[in-house]
Structure 1
Amino acid sequence: MTANQRKRALAPSGPRKTKVEPPTLCDPQATIAPELCAYPDQVRRSRETEEALHQVVDAFNAFRDPIFIHDSEFRILRANPAYLACARQPLRNILGKPYWQVFPKGDGPLASCLKALQRGSMMEEAENVATESNEVFHSRAFAVQADNGDYLYSVHLLEDITERIRMEEALRQEKMLSEATIGSAPGFFFVVDREGRHVRWNGYLNKMTGLSDEKLRETALLQIVHEGDKLFAAAKMQEAFGGGYAQGEMRLVTVDKGVRDFSISARRFAVDDATYLAGFGVDVTEQKRAVAQLQLDAQVFNGATESILIMDAEKRVIQVNPAFIAITGYTPQETIGKKRWLLLARVHDKATYRAIWKALRRHDHWRGEIHGQRKNGEVYPMLLNISRVHNAQGEISNYIAIFSDITDLKRSHEQMEHMATHDRLTGLPNRNLFYDRLQHSLDKVARHDEHLAVMFVDLDNFKAINDTLGHEMGDLLLRQVAERLQACTRKQDTIARLGGDEFTILTESLKTAFEDVISTTAQRIVASLAAPFDLGGREVHISASVGIALYPKDGKNLSALLKRADMAMYNAKEIGKNNYQFFTEEMNIRAAERMAFESDLRGALKGGEFFLEYQPQMQLGSSRIVAVEALLRWQSPKRGLVLPERFIPVAEVMGLIVPIGEWVLQSVCRQIREWTSQGLRDIRVAINLSSRQFRQDGLAEAIRRAMEKNRIPAANLEFELSESAVMDDAESAAKILQQLKDMGVRLAIDDFVIGYSSLQHLKRFPIDNLKLDSHFTQGVATDAGDQVIAAAIIAMGHSMKLDVIAKGVETQQQLEFFQNNGCDLAQGFFINRPLSPEHVATMIGHA
């Protein structure tokens, strides 16, 4: 702004008639302010009173704060010593100069004057003024006018506020630092009143809760505390208000409805009459998790059953767990700080150790089975995992070895392997191991031009002994047979039990006169097994049939040798048992014939070549025919009529017995329906169930479907089972029999003999009839022993409320015996031969 502009700006806007009444200046000391404020009047009176003028001047000069007076051109007219001290110039240097040249940093007084004159007031507060020495003054100014309104001069009073400004700036900086510190703190800051309402907080709390400042102002601290910790938090607030300080950990609810753990401390303070809590909360969730993980790691380390050994980069042991002490026998004092790190046994060569370290260098890990050595010198197998650990700089920091004593594990594996390859009953190799050794031997003898032999040993009459004396005695007999076979053979020979009463023997590395060697061995076997066996004080006699096949004469591969040894064994049975036979080509011819027979039998079911005949069963008390037994027949186009004794065993071996049995069931049900339509409603038909059919899943359901399909009552059916079929697994047999009994059919045990095993389980079976073995029936007319046994079975059956049926009655004497001994029913050629369905209807219809 130029001087002319300033003149115009300060010029009055119009004539003023108002008398000048100068405003009161601020005078903190209240000493000269009255005189200064009355300065205009004193000036007018000074023309008359010089003494008064001197007084004003003295007061002006004595005023502590800087004062100066300027004209309408802003030229300084007067300044007190305080002003000169601030300007750092003598009065002569500043008189007549515009005041802004004295304090070039400030334009405050000019602005103040402009505002005062423009608004018609005598005084206006100006801006702060800064000096060259950075002192700051607060300027107050007023313009003085004459009575006619003309501008006379302006008076400026400067108040030194340098210290106050410095203090305000320090407070501002401190506040900024405090707010920055609180704002950047790794937690939330809060101030709450007595009701727990938020008074002040930092941005962390907004971010954590997702609440705006307005919402937080309306939210109490307890409202963001987890429900399960509210009582605890309230108690802690009361403790802080009452005792001045409190600290605790509690869970807070976050913006995403999650829960975080915080450690919160709060201190009481007062402002005026109000009391507040100021506090700080630090999120310790991860810290608590880390502590929990460390505790868990410590528990795992100390509670692990595996030995854990930690080494430093120099492979010195720094820590071991209790399992290490238990496994090795070494104490921590004997181990820590030493380099005997793995305590490996000396059975390993240097190559083993080099392989371990090579793997560690390449892969930072090695795992394998190795041997350790305990403190007492015992060597044991261990499974070792060793890892190399690196720090953040990639340097090796530790080695961690984890190992376990696998002595029991290896023993268990050996036992499992033995169980998988050996017969549990006898301890001999089983079928799989025998086949494996036979194949290995075939490969070896082929390279060395040697011979070997395969023997099949099958016990004669074992089934009868097993059924009569029970399975426990049968098992004992098999174990003794295994011992005798081992005594008859060489140590290098392999003896195996294939199952049941079948054994095989592999004799290898035979060179000259090998057939004589095999014959001698076979003779010893036959003779040894023919000698009496002692089964729990009971003397038992059996025999054996042995079949022999030789390599390479009888076959050059495993299957050929096994097949031909089996053929030779069957040949030994056919010619009287208790002997041994070498395979011959004639046996092969008979085997071919057997295969042809099996082929014809397989086609018989599809070709409709089977038919049924029915043998009547007579009630001895009334001589009435009350039931019939269905008997299967095979009318072959090639072979003519084939008896069951010929084809049933073959069907059992081939697995055809189940579909054949299903055909018999359906055929009998259809026949009963037909007889019923002819008026024969009370006839009962007995059907034989084979062992395999009896164990077939869904037997009861198949019988139910057949009865429903043909609409016949269950009382018309009776099922006969051999004693061995139900005794092989008495527990499951009892369940199956009960299922059948619940359907309403009758059940019978066929070919019953008195045996300990039978008597043990018979009372548990829901049977109706006992069919006496035909062997006893044949002897009752002449053999006193058979008479006693037959009479005993009849009496036993009656004591158990069972009907007893005599089977195979062929003479009058036999019939009379059973009549005289109270037998219930009888069947056989003497009573009636098997009949066709038509003859049955005719016979029963005329009865």
Structure 2
Amino acid sequence: MKHDGVSVSTVGPVVHHDERLDALLSITGRMDGYLYRCRNDASYTMLYISDGIFTVSGYRPSDFIHNAVRDYVSAIHPDDLPSVYAAVDAALEARRNWNVDYRIVPRAGEPLWVREIGGGVWDKAGELEFLEGFVVDISDRKVVEDLNAQLVLDLKIANEELSAQKREIEVAKQQSDHSANHDALTDLPNRRAFHNEIRSVVTRCGATGEAAGLLFIDLDRFKEVNDTLGHEAGDALLQRVSSQLRSILRSADFVARLGGDEFAFLFSADTELARQKAVRVAERILERLRIKVPTPNGAIQVGCTVGVAMYPAEAGDSEALIALADRLMYIGKKSGRNRLVTASEMAPQQPSSRPRLRKTA
């Protein structure tokens, strides 16, 4: 479209009716709208416009013919005019029809929405003669469409808010689950998580034929650190111990803080190798947890005592395994501390069973 006021092509006297107009009038006559034929200039100078324009806008058709009183562009809402120009220009360039919604500013009342479907008419030489089309009032439909669009938007926002709330709930649940199953000071699994894990490991080993090893670990001289330096120093020591125990873990192993200065190390392995691994891990723990804690009166040599019990060779279920590891650890504490204690090859419940003590250098 040329917007310089010069039409691409003009026509002679206004043709009020011809076969094309009659065909279009038969369609638009049944609609709340109007038919038009205009020049392709900046003001869309009307050559013909049907009586429906009066019903829609309150303006008489004669007002627009050759811009007698006003041009058609003046009836288009100024905010919508750029999109109208763009739609018409793009369609003419592609030699196709345009379909564009915009607002008409009526003689009285609020702007109302219309939908225009139009196209260019070219002569045999390929020159553009004029534009023609029809415009229908879609105000009621537009209200419904806008309501639907707003409803879709509201639903989208509501879904996004709901999704965000679900994510927050899931995060809160995960945090709650984590807190319920982990020690707040060291972030190691706690006693509750340990009991769940050992039941699971023993059940799995019972099904696969593997062995499970349980090491009960109790720090030596931890109370001295607390009494001498205070609970903050004791907490720092527990965090350091936890870090050392984590460094020994394989991906399939499990370590937990049972409370106070007691920890548990749980693993599963092939039956023939499990006992060797248990002793090897216990010796590594004894070595890693030999920690000197400086005090004003000299260093406190912290260590640990480890009770080592095996399933199924020495205990028939998870509860028996826990009880045995705890008893062996207690025996080690009574026997001088800083050592690992294992049961004999015989079942610990039998009178002939004697714990085997091993003290580190």
TM-score (normalizing by structure 2): 0.51
Q: Residue 567 of structure 1 contacts residue 583 of structure 1 at CA under 8 Å; is this kept in 2? A: no
Q: Residue 211 of structure 2 contacts residue 310 of structure 2 at CA under 8 Å; is this kept in 1? A: yes
| Structure 2 SS opposite 1:498 | strand
Structure 1 unaligned residues grouped into runs of 5+: 1-311, 328-341, 343-371, 373-381, 384-402, 593-847
Residue of structure 1 in register with 2:285 after alignment: 525
Counterparts of 1:506 and 1:535, CA distance in 2: 33
What's the offset of the Cα at 1:459? Answer: 0.7
Change (3 A) 1:586 1:493: closer
Amino acid at match of 1:532: K
Q: Residue 547 of structure 1 contacts residue 567 of structure 1 at CA under 8 Å; is this kept in 2? A: yes
Q: Is residue 416 of structure 1 aligned with residue 176 of structure 2?
A: yes
Counterparts of 2:341 and 2:270, CA distance in 1: 19
236, 247, 250: which is aligned to 1:476? 236
Residue of structure 2 in register with 1:567 after alignment: 327
Q: Residue 215 of structure 2 contacts residue 278 of structure 2 at CA under 8 Å; is this kept in 1? A: no
| Structure 1 SS opposite 2:197 | helix
Change (3 A) 1:561 1:465: same
Q: Is residue 577 of structure 1 aligned with residue 329 of structure 2?
A: no
Counterparts of 2:271 and 2:348, CA distance in 1: 26
306, 315, 318: which is aligned to 1:555? 315
Aligned residues: 206
Per-residue deviation, residues 627-661 of structure 1 (Å, max 9, x unmatched): xxxxxxxxxxxxxxxxxxxxxxxxxxxxxxxxxxx
Looking at both structures, which has the greater relative contact order when contacts are Cα pairs under 8 Å and sequence separation is at least 6? 2
Residue of structure 2 in register with 1:657 after alignment: none
Per-residue deviation, residues 689-713 of structure 1 (Å, max 9, x unmatched): xxxxxxxxxxxxxxxxxxxxxxxxx
Counterparts of 1:511 and 1:439, CA distance in 2: 18
Amino acid at match of 1:319: L
Change (3 A) 1:406 1:506: same
| Structure 2 SS opposite 1:532 | strand
Residue of structure 2 in register with 1:441 after alignment: 201
The equivalences for 1:90-105 within 5 A come to none
Residue of structure 1 in register with 2:77 after alignment: none
Change (3 A) 1:533 1:589: farther
Q: Residue 458 of structure 1 contacts residue 546 of structure 1 at CA under 8 Å; is this kept in 2? A: yes
Change (3 A) 1:586 1:506: closer
What's the offset of the Cα at 1:423? Answer: 0.5
Q: Which runs of 4+ in 1 moved over 6 A?
A: none
Change (3 A) 1:531 1:504: same
What's the offset of the Cα at 1:556? Answer: 2.1
| Structure 1 SS opposite 2:305 | strand
Counterparts of 1:468 and 1:525, CA distance in 2: 25
Residue of structure 2 in register with 1:488 after alignment: 248
Q: Residue 221 of structure 2 contacts residue 301 of structure 2 at CA under 8 Å; is this kept in 1? A: no
Amino acid at match of 1:442: V
The equivalences for 1:744-823 within 5 A come to none
| Structure 1 SS opposite 2:247 | helix
The structure with the larger Rg is 1
Q: Residue 567 of structure 1 contacts residue 587 of structure 1 at CA under 8 Å; is this kept in 2? A: no
Residue of structure 1 in register with 2:266 after alignment: 506
| Structure 2 SS opposite 1:428 | coil
Q: Residue 455 of structure 1 contacts residue 546 of structure 1 at CA under 8 Å; is this kept in 2? A: yes
Amino acid at match of 1:419: S
What's the offset of the Cα at 1:512? Answer: 3.0
Q: Residue 473 of structure 1 contacts residue 535 of structure 1 at CA under 8 Å; is this kept in 2? A: no
Counterparts of 1:526 and 1:485, CA distance in 2: 10
Counterparts of 2:238 and 2:338, CA distance in 1: 17
The equivalences for 1:245-644 within 5 A come to 317-319=149-151, 325=157, 383=162, 404-533=164-293, 540-584=300-344, 588=349
What's the offset of the Cα at 1:540? Answer: 4.2
Counterparts of 2:338 and 2:326, CA distance in 1: 15
What's the offset of the Cα at 1:588? Answer: 4.8
Change (3 A) 1:445 1:435: same
Structure 2 unaligned residues grouped into runs of 5+: 1-143, 354-361
Amino acid at match of 2:194: F
Counterparts of 1:524 and 1:567, CA distance in 2: 21
The equivalences for 1:208-219 within 5 A come to none
| Structure 2 SS opposite 1:542 | strand
What's the offset of the Cα at 1:460? Answer: 1.0
Counterparts of 2:228 and 2:276, CA distance in 1: 38
Per-residue deviation, residues 795-833 of structure 1 (Å, max 9, x unmatched): xxxxxxxxxxxxxxxxxxxxxxxxxxxxxxxxxxxxxxx
What's the offset of the Cα at 1:511? Answer: 3.8
What's the offset of the Cα at 1:409? Answer: 2.4
Per-residue deviation, residues 475-514 of structure 1 (Å, max 9, x unmatched): 1101101111111232221111111011011111334322
Amino acid at match of 1:496: A
Amino acid at match of 2:257: R
Counterparts of 2:347 and 2:267, CA distance in 1: 24
| Structure 2 SS opposite 1:406 | helix
Counterparts of 1:462 and 1:427, CA distance in 2: 19
| Structure 2 SS opposite 1:429 | coil
Amino acid at match of 1:531: I
Change (3 A) 1:576 1:410: same
| Structure 1 SS opposite 2:272 | coil
Counterparts of 1:323 and 1:479, CA distance in 2: 49
Residue of structure 1 in register with 2:40 after alignment: none
Q: Residue 458 of structure 1 contacts residue 545 of structure 1 at CA under 8 Å; is this kept in 2? A: yes
TM-score (normalizing by structure 1): 0.23
Per-residue deviation, residues 352-408 of structure 1 (Å, max 9, x unmatched): xxxxxxxxxxxxxxxxxxxx6xxxxxxxxx74xxxxxxxxxxxxxxxxxxx653323
Counterparts of 1:317 and 1:405, CA distance in 2: 24
Counterparts of 2:203 and 2:209, CA distance in 1: 10
In angstroms, what is the RMSD of aligned CA positions? 3.2
Counterparts of 1:464 and 1:522, CA distance in 2: 23
Q: Residue 225 of structure 2 contacts residue 293 of structure 2 at CA under 8 Å; is this kept in 1? A: no
Q: Residue 279 of structure 2 contacts residue 308 of structure 2 at CA under 8 Å; is this kept in 1? A: no
Counterparts of 2:347 and 2:203, CA distance in 1: 28
